[in-house]
Amino acid sequence: MPHPPISPSHELSSWPARGAERDAWTLAHRPPRNPLDPFRPYAFLVEEEPDAAGAIVPIATIFLTNRECPWRCVMCDLWRNTLAESTPPGAIPTQIEYALDQLRNRVPHPCHVPGLDVHRVGAIKLYNAGSFFDPRAIPPEDHLAIADLVRPFDRVIVECHPALVNDACLRFRDLLSGQFEIAMGLETAHPTVLEKLNKRLTLDQFQAAAEFLRRNQIDLRVFILVQPPFMAPEESLHWAQRSLHFAFDCGATAATLIPTRGGNGAMEALAASGDFTPPALATLESAVDYGLSLQRGRVFSDLWDLPRPIDCPACCEARIARLRAMNLSQTVAPRILCDRCGGRS
């Protein structure tokens, strides 16, 4: 894939140049967080996903309630469902046990959770709106109890900032009976835009963390933003493609493309200043089509919060259904034809 020169990112006069000032700016634009019980997960569900061999695997996904991530990424809205204080010891195992009991017993749930058949579900995702190896979010003294609860699963997937990928990952891996996988947010391979997201991450640091996982037989999953802030819309598809190449070059076995969304206060301010435009559905579709055509690993589209007002009402539901089917088939399906928008919305 040709790599043209990196264009300078848009300069925002009101966007601070230093991390502490960026933190303060981001915090100042936040609405209130949601009130949560530290001993209950804020959501849980069963989803389906193809494994590396193409078999469709049900996955128990638990969204844990814990202390907020210490990084103040400008695009993040996950802090809404976090705690302002450190997670109490014992809370995370209690949450996992509660969620698994609810799923097994087919108890009605606001998330419309399907019943969990423990004999069929082969994987579990423990997503915590931050880093599993942040000790103030997931107390290390709870790792053994967590490992005991997830022992029936063939694969355990957590998320972590690359800066916290270290020997703690190996100690937790050694407690597990199944394969361990860590999801890391790359966000974008555009180094200037990545720096401005306030993630406190460089591409070299991401590569180093990925190499650590590879050396230690821990699988890597990567999150990529489609059209992040500070990126011109006409460049966004190209950088999503480059980000996919970067992720697979780092050894990723799966990459999830996330259409960047608003809703956290900071993104609305950036949209008002012209520094953020939500991506069109067509941009996400083209990025997913490209990623699947590479056949270098699994590629998924994150379809949460779609459709949006920018998408064509005549065809968006069919196009989202196409993306959902491609998540399972891992093959490019024919594009949806639309007389109203031509499939460009």
| Claim: this prediction has a pTM higher than 0.85 | yes
In a domain, 99, yes or no: yes
In a domain, 8, yes or no: no
In a domain, 230, yes or no: yes
In a domain, 5, yes or no: no
Q: Which two tokens stand for residue 30?
A: 């936040």
- Average pLDDT rounded to a whole number, residues 175-184: 97
Residue 266 has pLDDT above 50, yes or no: yes
Q: Which two tokens stand for residue 259?
A: 């259409």
User: What are the residue ranges of helices labelled H in the chain?
Assistant: 19-28, 91-104, 143-149, 167-173, 191-196, 203-215, 233-249, 266-272, 281-294, 316-329
The rounded distance, in Å, linking the Cα atoms of 99 and 298 is: 27
Task: Give the pLDDT confidence of 316-339 residue by residue, as tens digits.
Answer: 999 999 999 999 999 999 999 999
Residue ranges making up the domain that contains 45:
19-329
Burial class (CB within 10 angstroms; exposed 0-12, middle 13-18, buried 19+) of 179: middle
Identify the residue with better confidence: 178 or 114.
178
Number of separate domains in the chain? 1
pLDDT value at position 116?
55
In a domain, 271, yes or no: yes
pLDDT bin (cut points 50, 70, 90) of residue 2 is very low
Residue 104 has pLDDT above 70, yes or no: yes
- CATH number of the domain residue 175 falls in: 3.20.20.70
Residue 113 has pLDDT above 60, yes or no: no
In a domain, 343, yes or no: no
In a domain, 54, yes or no: yes
The residue count of the chain comes to: 345
Task: Give the pLDDT confidence of 48-92 residue by residue, as tens digits.
Answer: 999 999 999 999 999 999 999 999 999 999 999 999 999 999 999
In a domain, 75, yes or no: yes
pLDDT value at position 343?
77
pLDDT bin (cut points 50, 70, 90) of residue 308 is confident
